[in-house]
Amino acid sequence: MDKPWGGRFKEDSSKLLEEFNASINFDKELYKEDILGSKIHAEMLCNIGILTLAEKNNIISGLNKVYQEIEDNEFVFKIQDEDIHMAIEKRLTQLIGDSAKKLHTARSRNDQVALDFKLYCLSKNNEIKVLLLELISTLLDIAKNHTKTIMPGMTHLQHAQPVSFAFHLLAYCFMYRRDVERLFDDYKRNNYSPLGSSAFAGTPYNIDREYTSSKLGFISPCYNACDGVSDRDFALDLLYSISMIAMHTSRFAEELVLWSSYEFRFITISDSFATGSSIMPNKKNPDVAELLRGKTGRIYGNLIALLTTLKALPLAYNKDMQEDKEALFDSCSNIILSLKVLIGMLKEITINKDEMFKKAQIGHITATDLADFLVQKVGISFRESHHIVGKIVAYAESKNCDISELSIDEIITQDNRIPKDVKEVLDLYHSMNSRKSFGGTSEESVREQIEFLSKWLNAK
């Protein structure tokens, strides 16, 4: 019986149990966090007199050797070791002898895994934030060059009002800004150390939890040991934040798919971020954008999976919680790769300004400007103005043209109260720049938004 808990048992574990119970095949991802936590725990045990200085140094030296073996792919992970914690402890014992067995004093695998997993989540939080900031910066660089680039703004996927391409991109910048702020909030809320909670009720040893939490970069130890080992809110917070990022990215990807089609031709995706067809030699497929959209489903699924796993667990630790890691590992790796590929694709994208402008001349998208003009100039109610402009749009439709292409005489024929200087308001640039309200699409307002985001980025 070579299990660390084997003293209670008279029979060896079933091979099926070992396969079913083990997490080593996936929680080996936590080796850096596990070794770091063990080092700091050893330092604390030395400080309070449980380890001698020589024992502490021997343990840390041995842990460094284990770390290097894993980094060099020389470490042999065995299913019999159950998890990363036992695998490292077993190898440490082989390297330095019995002093390794003192390392587990005043801790349990329950607080050990909670620590490792929380450190991992906080690390991925930072990694994702860095990529989001780079993405926002990339979008801002594009936006700065397109404050005068007219495109049809849409609602219901129908041409609505003229906006600048910069204005449209900035909407995504502000979405991703919320994602960054959410991650900052998540980090602060969850930055409390579970180490020292032991199994779930604390420990009789005179441990120094303030020391270990400070050395590991936490604000403080968690205040309740039972909560410390049973809490997985930090993982759910990260999964939710990743789901929001994926949702925003999926919306953006959907537009990239549309914009790159022959029907729109707003953008051209670089050959290095597109694929072809196995049968149709004419095809250039936006597979990257489609996969960005498609990843959202599995990311949502990972969030729901962990919520479901945790929904009926009694306190404190339960083995069900072993199911928390694979879902989170998957979401982290997929959102990190997705953000990297989106940034790379955007840096090589071509913006087809002429096509955007051409499409903006379709759909009567200055009709609202005409309605507002009649309210301001003629003094009629907006509802009456809306009706008059609707008639003008119908007339233009019958002529198979846009309202901006109608002559002044044709417009006035629909209602003789319309002033002769009406044509100015039908100009696309005039329409875009007339919306000077805070957050609007005028060039002045858009530049203010760019400046705001630039200052925010520089402060991060």
Helix (H) or strand (E) holding 453: helix 443-459
pLDDT at 284: 85
**Does residue 284 share a domain with residue 176?**
yes
**Does residue 249 share a domain with residue 167?**
yes
**Does residue 379 share a domain with residue 307?**
no
| 242 found inside a domain | yes
**Which of 80, 105, 130 is a domain's end point?**
105
Candidates 420, 418, 414, 430; CA nearest to 375 is 418
| 202 found inside a domain | no
Where does residue 155 rank: exposed (0-12), middle (13-18), buried (19+ CB within 10 A)?
exposed
**Does residue 247 share a domain with residue 370?**
no
Residue type, 20: F
| 210 found inside a domain | no
Q: The pTM is what?
A: 0.92
Q: Which DSSP state fits 10?
A: S
Tokens of 94: 């082989």
pLDDT in tens, 321-379: 999 999 999 999 999 999 999 999 999 999 999 999 999 999 999 988 888 888 888 88
Tokens of 364: 């009567």
Tokens of 379: 């003094």
**Does residue 144 share a domain with residue 253?**
yes
Confirm if 113 and 37 have CB atoms less than 8 A apart: no
Give long-range contacts, CB 8 A cutoff, 24+ apart: 156-160. 158/363, 159/359, 159/360, 159/362, 159/363, 159/364, 159/365, 160/363, 160/365, 160/368
Q: Mean pLDDT, to the nearest integer, of 119-139?
A: 98
Q: Among all residues, which ones are annotated catalytic?
A: 156, 277
Confirm if 139 and 346 have CB atoms less than 8 A apart: yes
| 239 found inside a domain | yes
Which parts of 145-232 fold into alpha helices (H)? 165-190, 209-215, 225-230
CA distances from 56 to 48, 52, 108, 150, 195 (A): 12, 6, 19, 67, 18
| 207 found inside a domain | no
| 451 found inside a domain | yes
Give the pLDDT band (50/70/90) at residue 281: confident
**Does residue 243 share a domain with residue 373?**
no
**Does residue 332 share a domain with residue 381?**
no
**Does residue 157 share a domain with residue 235?**
yes
**Does residue 190 share a domain with residue 72?**
no
| 201 found inside a domain | no
| 200 found inside a domain | no
CATH code, domain with 34:
1.10.275.10
Q: Which DSSP state fits 433?
A: H
Cα torsion angle, 151, 353, 291, 26, sign:
negative
Helix (H) or strand (E) holding 199: none
**Does residue 394 share a domain with residue 344?**
no
CATH code, domain with 445:
1.10.40.30
Confirm if 342 and 292 have CB atoms less than 8 A apart: yes
* CA 42 remoteness from chain centre: 35
Give the domain extent around 293.
110-195+219-358
**Which of 342, 358, 374 is a domain's end point?**
358
**Which of 89, 105, 121 is a domain's end point?**
105
pLDDT in tens, 144-191: 999 999 999 999 999 999 999 999 999 999 999 999 999 999 999 999
**Does residue 11 share a domain with residue 75?**
yes
- Residue 404, pLDDT > 80, answer yes
CATH code, domain with 333:
1.20.200.10
- Return the CA Rg of the chain: 31
Count of structural domains, the chain: 3
**Does residue 295 share a domain with residue 246?**
yes
pLDDT at 80: 86
